[in-house]
Amino acid sequence: MQIEIPLLRNFIGGDWIPSSSGEVIISRNPATGEEISRSQKSTVQDVRMAIEAAENSFNTTDWRYEPSRRADCLHSLVKKIRDHAESLSNLMTVESGKPIRVSRFEVARAADIIDYYSGLCRNVFGRATELSRQSLDLVVREPVGIVGIISPWNWPLVLLVRSMAPALAAGNTVVVKPASYTPAINIAFFQLLSTINEFDKGVVNCVTGPGEIVGSELATNNKVNMISFTGDTVTGKKIVQMSSNSIKKLSLELGGKSPSIIFADAQLDNAIKGCLSGAWLSCAGQVCYASTRLIVHRKIHAEFVRKFKDQISSLKVGNGLDETVDVGPIISETQLDDVLNYIETGKQEANLVIGGRRLTEGNLSKGFFVAPTIFDEVRQGSRIEQEEIFGPVVTVSPFETEEEAIQMANNTIYGLAGSVWTKDVDTAIRVAKQVRAGTVWVNSYSSIPPSMEYGGYKQSGIGRMLGLEGLHEFTEMKHIGLHISS
Ligand code: NAD
């Protein structure tokens, strides 16, 4: 099947349906400004239609009772994605701007996550116990029901399937609201899914449109039993408020400001490589777990900054379709302005080492490009050290003692990820245990296997995605107490 991106429609109850608004949203390539797609600017009525389709499917089909069919469906989806990997990757790059090698990685990873959960469909287990001669007590896991999935643009496939695959594996039906910047890649994914006949109609639905309309309706609608949201912490707080009237189950994967602690005995070249890829190489710093706060021991601080700067000078910024490009554009003009404002603030708060400006030379003038930027001697508590910039900007702050490094690492509202760089295994474990974050890497960065739980402490989120717990998020537990007559 050829993936074509004409006028994109909503996928509701197994059919491709235009919005009742008659209006569209145009997505553009952030590297060139070219139009990529026109998707539906959906209304509350469209969302309600999708919720009804999901509810109807949950109540009237055997989807939730047939784990082996669910496994088959997910398995077929994996195959479809792998068969169309290159066209999906190209579309992802032109729509999100990320380098093509990163898009290829993302498409492969999305397939891998679905593959992992297809294997878990038949492993949704509860417990059984004997509490007396006359009883048998069971705890069973059941699907939550109708799950609303609201996803961001920066890893548009991985973050969609990270919620959708376990939700389906557990027997739920879903309504997806993709990010408004990246509807085409998500609709292309649903086009592939729609060719798998074993999916009951209405098990999976997708409605595009503004968060304030489509996302809000999902978060407030009484029939939606759970929201799995990935996005900004500010939006996450709105989801909590909006969903409170109907007391929905919530899974929230929110923002981050992840620290990397580099000790004096670290293998410096490895640490620099890790910080570089953790900060910039996947999505121009627009990554929730990006290693954006580098906390470096005073003894090696000057050498670290010098070598780090050298590495950054050699990064190629440009259109992600160019195979040699390391860093792509910022997603939108609004986000570009935010990043440039943070950079101006940084110039008042710290020492600019490199970067610090928009890039407009040659073809770069057509897109939203920012030079990879380092600020040094960044004061604790300053804005660029505390707030998620979501662009190619890192801060460096020196430390003297281990205790001070840990205090600095934990000194934000976030707790998504972090890393520790040292050759001393005791130091590594001691520090990793004290960093208040859902993931801590030691002498590496960015490895997120499908089988390992991922999520945030503090204001970085609620609950865990991936792994077995990522499946359990999408279940309710029921106690069934059996009385046995003698
Ligand atoms: P965002 O919060 O602006 O948007 C995320 C989704 O929410 C989009 O689909 C958007 O349309 C929708 N939305 C916006 N306003 C809404 C509202 N009022 N009601 C309901 N839905 C609404 O985030 P973004 O800019 O797309 O993504 C970047 C953010 O996501 C960053 O903060 C990043 O750290 C975070 N993120 C977190 C993770 C994680 O795993 N923790 C992963 C990726 C991104």
Asked if 364 and 317 touch (Cβ cutoff 8 Å), the reply is: yes
Q: Residue 154 Cα, ligand 1 centroid: separation in angstroms?
A: 9
Q: How many CB atoms lie under 10 A from the CB of residue 274?
A: 22
pLDDT at residue 195, as a whole number: 97
Best residue among 230, 237, 287, 473 to mutate for probing ligand 1, ranked by most atoms within 8 Å of CB: 230
How does residue 6 score in pLDDT terms, banded at 50, 70 and 90?
A: low
pLDDT at residue 165, as a whole number: 98
* Atom 12 in ligand 1: residue holding the nearest Cα: 211
Atom of ligand 1 nearest to the CA of 238: 18
Is the pLDDT score of 228 beyond 80? yes
DSSP 216: H
Cα separation, 136 vs 42, in Å, equals 50
Residue 288 catalytic? yes
Rounded mean pLDDT, 74-89: 98
Q: What is the dihedral of CA 451, 457, 463, 465, to 10 degrees?
A: -30
Set 288, 349, 385, 473: catalytic member = 288
Q: What is the pLDDT of residues 293-345, one digit of tens each?
A: 999 999 999 999 999 999 999 999 999 999 999 999 999 999 999 999 999 99
Is the pLDDT score of 7 beyond 90? no
238 lines ligand 1 (CB under 6 A): yes
Q: What is the pLDDT of residues 141-197, one digit of tens each?
A: 999 999 999 999 999 999 999 999 999 999 999 999 999 999 999 999 999 999 999
pLDDT at residue 428, as a whole number: 98
Q: Residue 236 Cα, ligand 1 centroid: separation in angstroms?
A: 8
Cα separation, 273 vs 305, in Å, equals 13
Is the pLDDT score of 4 beyond 70? no
DSSP 157: T
**Share above pLDDT 90 across residues of the chain, in percent, rounded to a whole number:** 97
pLDDT at residue 1, as a whole number: 47
pTM, 2 dp: 0.97
212 lines ligand 1 (CB under 6 A): yes
* Atom 8 in ligand 1: residue holding the nearest Cα: 179
Rounded mean pLDDT, 124-136: 97
Cα separation, 211 vs 172, in Å, equals 22
pLDDT at residue 281, as a whole number: 80
Cα separation, 291 vs 414, in Å, equals 13
> Element (H or E) spanning 421, and its range?
strand 417-421
pLDDT at residue 231, as a whole number: 98
Q: What is the pLDDT of residues 347-391, one digit of tens each?
A: 999 999 999 999 999 999 999 999 999 999 999 999 999 999 999
Atom of ligand 1 nearest to the CA of 162: 40
Q: What are phi and psi of 401, to 5 degrees?
A: -120, 160
Is the pLDDT score of 249 beyond 60? yes
Q: Which two tokens stand for residue 484?
A: 């046995």
Set 106, 253, 385, 388: catalytic member = 253
Residue 73 catalytic? no
157 lines ligand 1 (CB under 6 A): no
